[in-house]
Structure 1
Amino acid sequence: MMLLSTRGLSKHFDGLQAVQDVDFDLPIGQVRALIGPNGAGKTTLVGMICGRIEPSEGRVFFDEVDITALPAHKRIMLGMAYTFQITSVFSRLPAAENVALAARRRLHGDKVDTAVKEALDQVGLLERMDQEAGDLSYGHQRLLEIAMGLVQKPRLLILDEPTQGLADSEITDFKNLIRELAGDTTILLIEHNMNVVMETADQVTVLNFGEVLAEGTPDEIHANAAVQAAYLGTG
């Protein structure tokens, strides 16, 4: 069963076609990587899926319900969580309070504290829970944002460049986290780090010039001549 689908999804800005006629299907429980060169339309496509960008044409379906007209906050209530390519934490608040703000969308009372500690522990930040978010390193702010997504127990977790700014050890921990979540949470991963893609994704969708160039397993994508020419820099 598909959790997320798009049909004919397109977006143009002043004549520039950023995304063109994208049909996309994401089954429940799958980890899907979305890759492509800079300017391929990945962020625009995800923005339309999340409700932050209005499509020029096409439809978005979540759990087989047409949500094209729903604003972003209502999509969150349906079970979408989206972490940004640029961190969006509240820098003057402690890490724990950042996560608590997200948790209170679905929880109350003591359950919030328990969920916050669990989410921070999942991303390796439990020991930094009282530290102001603005004092965290950039990589730790990215992990904090992931914790803010996880604490909502989303049905669909969308991660936009989550490993950007992470140290090698943190990337290893992130890959382990994705493996831990796989199956229970449907994940859409926008990622440039091909090692992360190859080691965590069940399926990969490649965008190029706003269109779907290829879809398949990581091995199939790595061996695809068109993908090699357009993105992987070989062939």
Structure 2
Amino acid sequence: MTLLSTRGLTKQYAGLHAVEDVDFDLPQGQVRALIGPNGAGKTTFVGMLCGRIAPTRGTVIFDGKDISTLPAHKRIALGMAYTFQITSVFANLGVAENVALAARRRLQGAAVQDAVADALAQVGLGDRIDQTAGDLSYGHQRLLEIAMGLVQKPRLLILDEPTQGLAESEVAAFKTLIRALSDTTTILLIEHNMSVVMETADVITVLNFGRVLAEGAPSDIHADAAVQAAYLGTG
């Protein structure tokens, strides 16, 4: 079953095509990586999926429904959760309260506290539950943001550069987390760390100049001459 798809999705800025005529299909239960050089249109594309950027034309379909004009908060209510390239935690609040704010979209009472503890444990922040979010390192704030997404039990989790700022050991733990989540959650991963992409993704979509350059299994993408020339730097 296809959970998320786009048809002809396009975004123009003063005549510049940031994203142009992208057809995209993400099956339920898949881990999909979206890669491409800087300026390829990845963040704009994801912004249109999430409802933060209005497309110039084209459609976004989620679970069989046309959500092209739905605002971001209504897409969240349908089961989409996402983290941003720049952290968006509430720095003055505690770690637990940040996650609790997200949890309260679907839970009440004591269930919130249990869900918060579970989500923080999943991302390796269980021992930091009493800290203030702004006191965390940048990498740990990224993990906190992922916990805020996970606690919503989303059908689709979109992660934009989630390993940016993480230590090598934390990146390894993140790979393990993605593999564990793939049993219950569809994941779209926008990532520059190619070891993360190659080791966690079922399928990779490559954007270049706002268009889909290639799509396929990690081994096929790694061997693709056009991708090597445009992005991997081995062409």
Matched residues in 2 for 1:221 and 1:183: separation?
A: 24
Matched residues in 2 for 1:190 and 1:103: separation?
A: 24
Does the alignment pair 1:15 with 2:11?
Answer: no
3-state DSSP class of the match of 1:206? strand
Partner of 1:188: 188
Matched residues in 1 for 2:213 and 2:149: separation?
A: 29
3-state DSSP class of the match of 2:196? helix
Partner of 1:101: 101
3-state DSSP class of the match of 1:114? helix
Percent identity, aligned pairs only, is 77
Q: How does 1:111-130 map to 2 (within 5 A)?
A: 111-130=111-130
Q: Could you tell me which amino acid in structure 2 is paired with residue 146 of structure 1?
A: I
Partner of 1:178: 178
Partner of 1:75: 75
Q: Could you tell me which amino acid in structure 1 is paired with residue 5 of structure 2?
A: S
Partner of 1:156: 156
Matched residues in 1 for 2:222 and 2:183: separation?
A: 23
Matched residues in 2 for 1:194 and 1:124: separation?
A: 22
State the shift of 1:45 in Å: 0.2
Does the alignment pair 1:212 with 2:212?
Answer: yes
State the shift of 1:49 in Å: 0.4
Q: Could you tell me which amino acid in structure 2 is paired with residue 60 of structure 1?
A: V
Residue by residue, what CA displacement relative to the aligned partner does 1:185-224 show, whole Å, maximum 9, x if unpaired?
Answer: 0000000000000000000000000000000000000000
Does the alignment pair 1:168 with 2:168?
Answer: yes
What stretches of structure 2 of length at least 5 have no aligned partner? none
Residue by residue, what CA displacement relative to the aligned partner does 1:156-196 show, whole Å, maximum 9, x if unpaired?
Answer: 00000000000000000000000000131000000000000
Q: Following TM superposition, where does structure 1 have runs of at least 4 consecutive aligned residues deviating by more than 4 angstroms?
A: none
Partner of 1:55: 55
Matched residues in 2 for 1:9 and 1:179: separation?
A: 29
Partner of 2:131: 131
3-state DSSP class of the match of 1:19? strand
Partner of 1:227: 227
Partner of 1:40: 40
Q: Could you tell me which amino acid in structure 1 is paired with residue 42 of structure 2?
A: K
Partner of 1:6: 6
State the shift of 1:15 in Å: 1.0
Provide TM-score, normalisation by structure 2: 1.00
Q: Could you tell me which amino acid in structure 2 is paired with residue 186 of structure 1?
A: T
Partner of 2:146: 146
Matched residues in 1 for 2:138 and 2:72: separation?
A: 26
Partner of 1:26: 26
Residue by residue, what CA displacement relative to the aligned partner does 1:26-69 show, whole Å, maximum 9, x if unpaired?
Answer: 00000000000000000000000000000001000000110101
The alignment of Structure 1 onto Structure 2 pairs a total of residues equal to: 235
Coordinate RMSD, CA, aligned? 0.4
Q: Could you tell me which amino acid in structure 1 is paired with residue 14 of structure 2?
A: D
What stretches of structure 1 of length at least 5 have no aligned partner? none
